[in-house]
Amino acid sequence: MSDVHQAVQNLRKNEYVTIQEPDWSEYFFPSYSILNLQHGTENQVVFRKLLWSDENGGFATYSIKYDATLKESLDLRRFPLDHQLCRIRLTAERTIDEFQFVVVKGQDNKGIGQICAMWHLDDSSRSTVYVRHCDRYLPFASQRSCVNAVFHLERKGEYYFHGKLLMVFLVNILSLCVFAISLEDVSGRLRHLSRCFLAVLAYRYVIDGTLPRKEYLTGADAYIVFACSFQVLLVIETVLFHKFLTIFLKDPVLVDRYVGLSLLLAWCSVNCLLRWLWQHDTGRSNREIWEAIYQKGREPYAPINRCSDCGEMWLSKQCEHSSKKKQCINWPDCFGENTGDTGATESIATIYNTPFQSIPAIVEPQVFPRPPPHLKELAETRK
Ligand SMILES: [Zn+2]
C-alpha cells in the first residue's frame, strides 16, 4: 500500500481467479478400450486438467500415457520387401450420443520418436490418425466412436538381402564346384552337394526364426526353395552321368564341364533377373504401394462405395463397411446391389482411399471451444 503508483497491489482472496479441480469420477469418465491390445497395459499415467468452467459447463484436457504391446497381423508374402500398416485402434465404450472421439490437429507432427533399426517409418503422409465418421442415420443404437492411429512401416530389406540371401547365392556357387571333382568319384560329389544343401537349409531356419508362423511362403522362402531345387538338379545330373551317360557319350568329361558351365551361367543370369525385378519393384512409387495395401487390408480410412450400374459414389457407412450385403444409395431408382452370395454379380465395389488421395476430411479437426469472455484464457487453448 506504500506504492503510490500502484505498480504492486495486494489482492484479497476472493479477487483471485481460481479453478478448483472437480471430483473427476463424478464428472468426467471417458471409458474406452484399445481393440488390438495384446496384454494389459503397464505404467498407465493419467493426467486431467480443468481448463475452464462456469455455469454452462467446462472444458478439460485428458492425457494418458500407456506402455503396451499391440497385436497386428502382418502380410509377409513379399518379405523381405514388405510394407506393413501398424495400428492403434481405440473404441469408445459408450454409445455415440455420449462419447465421440475427435482428432485434434496439432501444430507439430512428430510421428514416432523411436523405431527399431530394421524398420523405416514412412512419414510422407501426414494424416495417420483418423476417426471414422459417425453415420448420420444410425441403424443401430449401439454405434460407437472409433479412432485409429495408423503408421506406415517399411522393412529395411538390405540386411536380409546382403546378410542371408547373398549367402544362399554364394553357397550355390560353391556347390557348382562339384564339376571340379572327377566323374568317377561319385560319392565325393554327392558328399559335397549334400553339405551345400544343408547349408542352404540352415539359412531357411535362420530366417524363419525371426518371423511368425504363417501358412504361405514368403519371398525369401521362395528363393530358398528355388536354391534347393537347383541343388537337387545338380544331384540328379551327377547320378545320371554316373549311371547312364558315361556309357553312351564319347567324351563324358567334356560334356560334364559344359553342363556345369551352362548351369553356372543359368544360375547367375536368373539371379541377375531377380535382382533387377527387386530394383524395379522398389522403384514403384510410395503411393502405389500403399494404395494396394489399403485396398487389400480393407483399411477403413475413407472407404468409398461405387455403383457400377449408375456410377454413383458415396462414403461407406461405418456400420455397413464390413457387411457383404450392400445396396446402391439411389435405391430404388437403381437396383445395384451386393447380395453377399458367392458367385452372384456384385455391382458395388468399395475403394479404400489412402491419406495420399486428396479427399475431403471425414471429421473436421476440432476447434477448441472458446472460454467464457470473463475468464482469463490459458495459453493451451489459444490458436
Ligand atoms: Zn446404382
CA 351 / ligand 1 centre spacing (Å): 15
Ranges of H-type helices in 45-165: 158-160
Supply the pLDDT for residue 338. 86
Homologous superfamily of 158-282: Neurotransmitter-gated ion-channel transmembrane domain (1.20.58.390)
**From the CA of 295, how far away is ligand 1's center (Å)?**
21
Q: How far is the CA of 290 from the centre of ligand 1 (A)?
A: 28
Helix (H) or strand (E) holding 201: helix 186-208
Indicate if the pLDDT at residue 139 is higher than 60: no
User: Crossing angle for the helix pair 219-240 and 166-175, nearest 10 degrees?
Assistant: 0
In the predicted structure, residue 12 carries a pLDDT above the cut 80: no
Q: What distance in angstroms lies between residue 338's CA and the mean position of ligand 1's atoms?
A: 11
Distance 350 CA to ligand 1 centre (A): 13
Domain boundaries, the chain: 13-156+366-381, 158-282, 302-353
Of residues 29 and 36, more confidence is placed in 36
**pTM over 0.85, yes/no:** no
Distance 310 CA to ligand 1 centre (A): 4
Of all residues in the chain, the percent with pLDDT exceeding 70 is 83
pLDDT of residue 370: 66
| Segment 311-324 mean pLDDT | 81
pLDDT surpasses 50 at 1: no
Res 362: pLDDT: 53
Residue 106 pLDDT greater than 70, yes or no: no
Confidence label for 108 from pLDDT (cuts 50, 70 and 90)? low
Q: Which of 129-143, 234-248, 251-265 is the least confident region? A: 129-143
Check whether 135 has a pLDDT greater than 90. no
Quote the ligand 1 centre to 78 CA distance (angstroms).
36
- Give the confidence band of 240 by pLDDT, cuts at 50, 70, 90: confident
**Is residue 138 predicted with pLDDT exceeding 60?**
no
Residue 325 to residue 316: CA distance in whole angstroms: 12
Q: What is the mean pLDDT of residues 375-379?
A: 57
Average pLDDT over residues 323-348: 84
Instruction: Label residue 262 by pLDDT band (50, 70, 90).
Output: very high
pLDDT tens for each residue of 71-84? 998 889 888 888 88
Share the mean pLDDT of the chain.
82
Question: What is the whole-number distance in angstroms between the Cα of residue 347 and the centre of ligand 1?
Answer: 8
Does residue 324 surpass a pLDDT of 70? Answer: yes
CA of 327 to the centre of ligand 1 (A): 8
Three-state secondary-structure class, residue 281? helix
Q: How far is the CA of 337 from the centre of ligand 1 (A)?
A: 8
Ligand 1 centroid–CA 306 distance in Å is 8
**Span 13-156+366-381: which CATH code?**
2.70.170
H-helix or E-strand spanning residue 332: none
Segment 216-223 mean pLDDT: 91
The residue ranking higher by pLDDT, 332 or 190, is: 190
